[in-house]
């Protein structure tokens, strides 16, 4: 759940950068983007916990999970960004309503991918240190 605000930061920034508004389509884009961001964070932390249950230390597990899950997380983000580019760059009649949804997904996926791979492991290690018996 900590990765969801990281995606919204990029979504809002991308809307501001492209001079689009928050409307129904951009809110739908936030829902789509949040689902993918949560999946990416879950992939990373689930594999980290699996490695820890196999006997690795938390730090070694985070590093190994980051290396192993980098490609699936990056490929998901890249697929969504490239898939939304035709919608984001569309100039046809009526496309101005859907353009904001595409920019929300593009901006949110870019920032959340970077932040998920950097901030989430650091936050995990910090929480593991502060609350050792809960994780």
Q: Identify the pLDDT of residue 64.
A: 94
Q: Which uninterrupted H or E stretch holds 57?
A: none
Query: Positive or negative CA dihedral for 38, 43, 44, 45?
Result: positive
- 10 contacts 110 by C-beta, under 8 angstroms: yes
Question: In terms of CATH, what superfamily is 4-130?
Answer: Multidrug efflux transporter AcrB transmembrane domain (1.20.1640.10)
Kindly state the DSSP code that residue 115 receives in the 8-state scheme: H
Q: What is the pLDDT of residues 71-102, one digit of tens each?
A: 999 998 999 999 999 999 987 887 788 899 99
pTM of the predicted protein model: 0.86
Domain boundaries, the chain: 4-130
């Amino acid at each position: 759940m900590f990765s969801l605000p990281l995606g919204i930061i990029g979504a809002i920034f991308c809307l501001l950068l492209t001079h689009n508004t928050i409307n129904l389509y951009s809110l739908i884009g936030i829902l789509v983007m949040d689902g993918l961001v949560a999946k990416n964070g879950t992939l990373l932390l689930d594999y980290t916990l699996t490695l820890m249950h196999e006997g690795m230390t938390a730090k070694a597990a985070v590093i190994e999970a980051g290396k192993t899950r980098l490609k699936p997380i990056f490929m998901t983000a890249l697929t969504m960004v490239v898939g939304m580019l035709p919608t984001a760059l569309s100039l046809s009649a009526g496309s101005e309503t859907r353009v904001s949804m595409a920019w929300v997904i593009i901006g949110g996926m870019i920032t959340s991918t970077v932040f998920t791979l950097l901030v989430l492991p650091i936050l995990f290690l910090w929480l593991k240190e502060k609350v050792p018996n809960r994780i």
